[in-house]
Structure 1
């Protein structure tokens, strides 16, 4: 199965929930990073790691397929 077929195949319900949480995590972290106010370096570092974790979680969850 190619990667394009995998992305178009139905995703199991559990991985749909994980994908949505990953998108939420990425969105929150990117909003923290794009604030015009100067935040401490620790907050920026944590937000960067959250963005990375959310993107990976969403990508892996989208690649999961239901076996028939």
Structure 2
């Protein structure tokens, strides 16, 4: 199964929730980093970490498939 087939396969409900949480965390982190207001360096650093962590969480959750449907897609 290649990456495109895996991305199109059904996702378990738990990982759909995690994907949405990851997207929200990445959005919050990106907003903090791109803020036009001068923020302390520590806050900007935490925002960068949030953006990366949210992106990874979303990507991994999107590529998780239901085992029963794994053979059906191939």
TM-score (norm 1): 0.97
Paired position in structure 2 for 1:41: 41
- Secondary structure of the 1:58 match is helix
Separation in 2, partners of 1:45, 1:22:
18
For 1:26 and 1:10, locate their aligned partners in 2 and report how far apart those are by CA, in whole Å: 23
Residue aligning to 1:29 = 29
SS of the equivalent of 1:10 reads: coil
Unaligned runs of 5+ in 2: 69-74
Gaps of 5+ in 1: none
Q: Measure how far apart 1:32 and its partner are.
A: 1.0
**TM-score, structure 2 as length reference:** 0.89
Q: Give structure 1 regions of 4+ aligned residues with deviation exceeding 2 angstroms.
A: none
1:14-61, Cα deviation, whole Å (9 max, x unpaired) = 000000000000001111111111100000000000000000000000
